[in-house]
Structure 1
Amino acid sequence: MPRIEFYILPGDKPDERLLAACKLALKGWRHGLPVFLRCADAQQCQALDELLWNFRTDTFLPHNLQSEDPLAPVVIGMNEEPAQANGLLINLAGDISAHLPQFQRIIEIIDQQPDRLAGGRENFRSYRQRGFDPRRVEL
């Protein structure tokens, strides 16, 4: 059963969520996990792809879009099934992935925007109803 954590950001700027996702992806990759960054839409995929190239000038994080290389160490996609199992899912979409069993760890990044807080609460309840034990992490 995957470990599920909700990372709660103190601010409400969308860029903070993407930056947190980049940092968590780097950490997961350094721990040897395949990482899947699940985005809400194609625009968010593109923004995250660009940010991953630039967020750390001293480190290269190998990544690619799901459509271009589903076996990259860090994959950016939406609702596709991950090509690699037992990895880390960083969920930036508003709903829960249909591919939960594929992952050993799931991170939901929640900021202080009211709609995101409400969606995060709903996802938290839904995970519990499915038998998971999600945890909350304050950043």
Structure 2
Amino acid sequence: MPQVDFYLLPSAHPHDALDFACKLADKAWRLGHRVYVLCASAEQCQALDARLWQFKAEAFVPHSLHSEDAQAAVALAVGTASGEHHDLLVNLTAGLADGHEGFARLAEIVPDEPALRQAARERFRFYRERGYALQNHRLPRI
């Protein structure tokens, strides 16, 4: 049963969600985990791909679009298939990720936008009803 962490962002700006996804992917990869980032759209996936290339000037987060290389340490995708990834699922969508139960950890990134917060509350209830270990992280304004 996965551990689920909800990261409540102090901003509704789409770039902040992508920046935080970069930080999570970088940290998890450096700890030896494989990361699957589920994007809400192909455009978001491309934007995250570009951000990961520029994320840190002194380091590189090895990643690929899932359609290019399902074996990458960090895979970015739109859809539901996770390939060989089972460590960490980073969910950037407003919905429940199909196949989430196959991961050890789930990271739900929640921007400060009413409709997205409401969708996150519904996912929280879903996970709680199934007995998943849940944790909220309210991130500070910078």
**1:37-73 Cα deviation digits (max 9, x unpaired):** 1001111111110111011111100000000001100
Secondary structure (helix, strand or coil) at the match of 2:7 reads strand
Q: Bigger shift: 127-136 or 60-69?
A: 127-136
Aligned-pair CA distance for 1:81: 1.8
> Is this contact kept in 2: 1:33–1:86, CA < 8 A?
no
Give the match for residue 61 of structure 2. 61
Listed as ranges, the matches of 1:1-139 within 5 Å are 1-139=1-139
The alignment's C-alpha RMSD in Å is: 1.1
For normalisation by structure 1, the TM-score amounts to 0.95
> Is this contact kept in 1: 2:87–2:103, CA < 8 A?
yes
> Is this contact kept in 2: 1:3–1:106, CA < 8 A?
yes
Return the letter of the residue paired with 2:75: V
Aligned-pair CA distance for 1:134: 1.8
> Is this contact kept in 1: 2:12–2:113, CA < 8 A?
yes
CA spacing shift, 1:85–1:49, aligned 2, 3 Å:
closer
> Is this contact kept in 2: 1:94–1:116, CA < 8 A?
yes
CA distance in 2, matches of 1:67, 1:74: 12
For normalisation by structure 2, the TM-score amounts to 0.93
Residue segments in structure 2 that go unaligned for 5+ positions in a row: none
Aligned-pair CA distance for 1:80: 3.1
CA distance in 2, matches of 1:58, 1:67: 27
**1:112-138 Cα deviation digits (max 9, x unpaired):** 111111111111111112232321111
**1:75-115 Cα deviation digits (max 9, x unpaired):** 00022321224311000011111112321110001111111
Q: Which runs of 4+ in 1 moved over 6 A?
A: none
Secondary structure (helix, strand or coil) at the match of 2:108 reads strand
